Amino acid sequence: MQNPTLFQFFHWYYPDGGKLWPEVAEKAAWLAEIGITAAWLPPAYKGDSGGYSVGYDTYDLFDLGEFEQKGSRATKYGDKEGLLAAIAALKQHQLGVILDVVLNHKMGADEKERVQVNRVNIDNREDISDDVIEADAWTRFTFPVRNGQYSKFIWDFHCFSGVDHIENPDENSIFKIVNDYTAGGWNDQVDDEFGNYDYLMGANVDFRNNAVNEELKYWARWLMDQTQCTGFRLDAVKHIPAWFYKDWIDHIQAEAEQPMYIVAEYWSHDVPTLQNYIDQVDGKTMLFDAPLQLNFHHASKQGADFNFTQIFDNTLVAADPAHAVTLVANHDTQPLQSLEAPIEPWFKPLAYALILLREQGVPIVFYPDLLGATYEDEGDDGNNYTIDMPAIPGLETLIKARQTHAWGVQTDYFDHPNCIAFSRSGTEEHPGCVVVMSNSEAGEKTIELGENLAHRKWRDLLEHREDIIETDEHGTAQFFCEAGSVSVWILAE
């Protein structure tokens, strides 16, 4: 038995040129060895930016790097053959394969159509003008290169509820398309930011069109058959009606040979909002714990001024641990991204200890944090700038410790604003651990482990402390950590 541990095998600034799929295949064995149980791969299909697309500007869901579309055959990450080889390598080492699903919008249409639209107030999407405008919009997707292979479905303006660009007259804003499905306005069961957050970007998919729904179910079946993936990460679900994904997940689970692992991105820092979404989909998906990631961000910025006992306050993992995927960073929180909320380097080992070694939630490790990354580019001012994302010291050790020592009953010692601790009791098969961390000066905690651990010696797995600690006849001892640091104490014998 293993503790589930996910790995996000990409980041926003990953280099182009088809390097990722070979790297996935190369590192699969090592990831399994250190304790990763599943890898989340980026969108594997062709985006509007072709070989330069990170993958969230969806063009053709059926092009996994197989067709000469948008300037290249391969995607940014490689061709279809490379993708399938990467997945085979992961599965060979008993790793799950989670594929990214971006269904909210399409971009890069092949043809324009003459449509009718209403202007929309971008700050209040419920404020829709009654005036009807005749205009051209890029809403027809025919995929002429693929030419009907795998699917003959043609997307036209009946498949979309809105666009952000029209021509003749030329205008950029948000426009609601007038068709058979949009008379009632935007979709329901979406986030209420801006009044209604159905529209995000591009040609906004309208899930009220049953032909669209059936095509997306068919695509999911096709993708599972082509790739033999074991799960999905659902992008931007706050912009997609919950009733659609409830039905879509039911469909794929019924078609799958084994239960598919589903985690969705609903980026909200309001826990009741996240819980409401979980209820709307009948608990059929996990959610990323955005509130916890924000707490980590604040804690890393405020240092000793942050009350460490409140690190899990108002988080999904505290309210509903069975549906929480805990994280320290992802591609959207990286520097220069829309949800930028970086964690200061000194705090990252503490944050990872808090998600990897605790009982609640399923943790996910971010590529640059484990492997490091550097991004160089030219800014608008003509100067070159560099984003350096160094690997976190000790992270590999913490991932391994999740499998070797993060077992048994958890006892929290959250009794000081700057120094907190927790212990894991261990099981018959696995020893436990004691984790102590401080966001200020060096800290210590008196931990009672019980008489079964009397007169036992302990050492710091992370080697931040060189001393050996011995429990007394009651199994009690003082455990220490350095300033602004974390120590993981394990049995030394």
- Report the CATH number that the domain containing residue 443 is assigned in CATH: 2.60.40.1180
Q: Does residue 137 share a domain with residue 61? A: no
Q: What are phi and psi of 56, to 5 degrees?
A: -100, 5
Q: Does residue 116 share a domain with residue 94? A: no
Radius of gyration of the chain (CA): 25
Examine the fold and report which residue of 401, 432, 454 is the final residue of a domain before the chain moves on: 401
Catalytic residues: 235, 265
Q: Does residue 204 share a domain with residue 215? A: no
Domain presence at residue 1: no
Q: Does residue 15 share a domain with residue 95? A: yes
- Helix (H) or strand (E) run with residue 242 in it: helix 242-255
Examine the fold and report which residue of 383, 401, 419 is the final residue of a domain before the chain moves on: 401
Q: What pLDDT does 376 receive? A: 81
Q: Does residue 153 share a domain with residue 292? A: no
End-to-end CA distance of the chain: 23
Q: Does residue 254 share a domain with residue 232? A: yes
Domain tally for the chain? 3
Q: Does residue 69 share a domain with residue 24? A: yes
Distance CA 361, CA 365 (A): 13
Q: Does residue 424 share a domain with residue 343? A: no
Q: Does residue 459 share a domain with residue 369? A: no
**Per-residue tokens: 246:** 């409830």
- The candidate with the shortest Cα–Cα distance to 239, out of 293, 269, 284, 277, is 277
Domain span at residue 182 reads 106-209
Domain presence at residue 16: yes
CATH number, residue 187: 2.40.30.140
Distance CA 351, CA 363 (A): 11
Q: What is the pLDDT of residues 350-407, one digit of tens each?
A: 999 999 999 999 999 999 999 999 888 766 677 787 888 899 999 999 999 999 999 9
Domain presence at residue 341: yes
**Per-residue tokens: 74:** 């391969």
pLDDT, one tens digit for every residue, the chain (493 residues): 799 999 999 999 999 999 999 999 999 999 999 999 999 999 999 999 999 999 999 999 999 999 999 999 999 999 999 999 999 999 999 999 999 999 999 999 999 999 999 999 999 999 999 999 999 999 999 999 999 999 999 999 999 999 999 999 999 999 999 999 999 899 999 999 999 999 999 999 999 999 999 999 999 999 999 999 999 999 999 999 999 999 999 999 999 999 999 999 999 999 999 999 999 999 999 999 999 999 999 999 999 999 999 999 999 999 999 999 999 999 988 777 777 778 999 999 999 999 999 999 999 999 999 999 988 876 667 778 788 889 999 999 999 999 999 999 999 999 999 999 999 999 999 999 999 999 999 999 999 999 999 999 999 999 999 999 999 999 999 999 999 999 999 999 7
Q: Does residue 289 share a domain with residue 397? A: yes
CATH number, residue 27: 3.20.20.80
Q: Does residue 358 share a domain with residue 238? A: yes
Q: What are phi and psi of 82, to 5 degrees?
A: -65, -40
Q: What pLDDT does 375 receive? A: 85
